[in-house]
Amino acid sequence: MGAFHSGVLLQMFSRIPVRFLGLALFATCAALLAVGLYLQHVKGIEPCPMCIMQRYAMMVCGVLGLIAGLHNPRGRGILVYAALLTVSALAGAGIAARQSWMQWYPPAVSECGPGLEYMLESFPLSSALPMIFRGAGDCSAIDWTLLGLTIANWSFLVFISILVGVTIFLLQRHKNQR
């Protein structure tokens, strides 16, 4: 009975219009990026360089979702978007996995560079700005958790969910086209 329900759910998922899935992905990524900006600017949690790279990967996933939603591709176009989305999600998942590993097994010396305060005090603004844009803080530090998972852990789960969603969508779509 459980396999029947999951099979029906998979078939229903593959029938959701690409436009809707793309726009839903965009909305999800935008919401997650907004949470990251909230944590940074309201809660004062400075992102590290790995966090910034994960934001870029999330932004690329969201923009790809937006473009796919607006474009509403068919046939090979779906495969192109899926490939680009897969590359971006894999990059984000890889960075998040590395950061999660560093949080579980912190290195003796921080590998992420100096903190924001140190950069502003030690470098002229023209040199500090690019460093600030890359992020500040210790990548192995755990500044926030939800349900026992760090931001990097959640980020990893989101990127993996994107990959699983793309895979299921493509497999079910291929199966339905036979």
* H helix runs in the chain, sequence order: 2-14, 18-41, 49-71, 76-104, 116-122, 125-134, 151-177
| Cβ atoms of residues 31 and 2 within 8 Å | no
Question: How far out from the chain centre does Cα 111 lie?
Answer: 21
φ, ψ at 123 (rounded to 5°): -125, 150
The model's pTM is 0.74
Pick the closest to residue 73 from 11, 97, 65 (CA basis): 65
- Rounded average pLDDT over 6-20: 69
**pLDDT tens-digit profile of 91-140?**
999 999 988 888 888 776 655 555 555 666 777 766 665 665 555 567 76
Domains (ranges, CATH) in the chain? 25-177 (1.20.1550.10)
Q: Which residues fall within 8 angstroms of residue 168, CB to CB, at 6 or more apart?
A: 10, 13, 14
pLDDT over 90 (residue 59) = yes
| Residue whose structure tokens are 């036979």 | 178
Pick the closest to residue 60 from 79, 81, 34 (CA basis): 81
pLDDT over 70 (residue 160) = yes
Quote the CA–CA distance of 138 and 113 in Å, as a whole number: 7
Of 132 and 23, the one with more pLDDT: 23
Pick the closest to residue 95 from 69, 61, 57 (CA basis): 57
Instruction: Give the pLDDT confidence score for residue 1 in this predicted structure.
Output: 47
Instruction: Give the pLDDT confidence score for residue 156 in this predicted structure.
Output: 95
